[in-house]
Structure 1
Amino acid sequence: MIPIDSKQRFTITDIERRDGRWELIDGVPYNMTPAPSTAHRRIVGELFFALRTHFGNNSASVFVAPYNVQLDENDMYTVVQPDISVFCNKQNLHPNRAIGAADLVVEVLSPLTALKDRREKFTLFERSKVKEYWIADPLNYTIEVYGLSDCRYTKRRVFGVDHTLHSFIFSELSIEMNSILQG
């Protein structure tokens, strides 16, 4: 088990040798083993189904966690497992993980990961040029959509239960939120 209070900077190789599910952000390990809530799993499942249905078999690859994403091939200190990741460039897909920024990343907040998803991952995805980042909040029944512009997340929309989510980068993608956010 990796000690959380360790001052050591870990690598992807270190994490791959450990039991359980781990994310690594700038050398800091995060244990992803605790099981998510029913609401979390339902929202992930519904969004995965909507995205997979939209993209079909060929236009993009849609993955659900656990799936390792190494956002920068030269960064051996960061690998994440977004709840959902969408890749349009199939060259990013390798046998054990994706290497390179996803086009779209979705994180569903849980009490244990909300701050990390809003701070560390937000900054990481922005820095890595993930084109669009969705943050689903099961407690407030919302999905925040952030779009990259000039290397920063400057576009933001918030969608609630009565809205239809529209993507910044996939203009034809729209999802009815009542089927996603209400159980």
Structure 2
Amino acid sequence: METNADSSLTSSTTTTISSTPTPASSFVNLFLNEINNQDIYCLLDVQRSLLEQLDKTNEKIDGINKLSAKNYLDASRDFSSHTQMLTTMKTDLDLIFKRIKLLKMRLNKKYPEAYASVLRTNATQNPSLDEEDDDINELPTSVKSVTSPSLVKSKTIDCSQFPSSIRESHSLTQIPNNKNIE
């Protein structure tokens, strides 16, 4: 009975589509008769649920992308500021080392015997230290000029600012009398 109803449905659709059935329309009609509507609705439901899941996943990924972009901007800002700070620190340290070398040169010119004795004492106590840093002859001639006001600004140090332990360990009585050297 169902086949009679399906064939009557097919013949009625065929007559409404065209007066004479063509091979293509008869193939479409056969194909439509073979498809179960319930399976189609199941497939559509599965596709809708997958679409909802994909939309939720896309929203989550968009949120993660926004968060990672913000974190990247923060990290790049921090990185650039740290790089700038390190560059500034390096230039400051270079200036400090130049000043130390100039002070060593001044001390060597003013008190050569005491400077040499300190170098010998330092070499015997710490043989692992490089003596190349203390060698004044290796300095370029532009650095050897002691009177360069752009590099060295002389300041008087108030010893009362130091802790008492430092003042006691480096008191003036421990410094040898340098009047003989002058």
TM-score, normalised via structure 1 length: 0.24
User: Over alpha carbons, which structure has the higher Rg?
Assistant: 2
TM-score, normalised via structure 2 length: 0.25
User: Which structure has more helix as a fraction of its residues?
Assistant: 2
User: Which structure has more strand as a fraction of its residues?
Assistant: 1
Question: RCO higher in 1 or 2 (8 Å CA, sep ≥ 6)?
Answer: 2
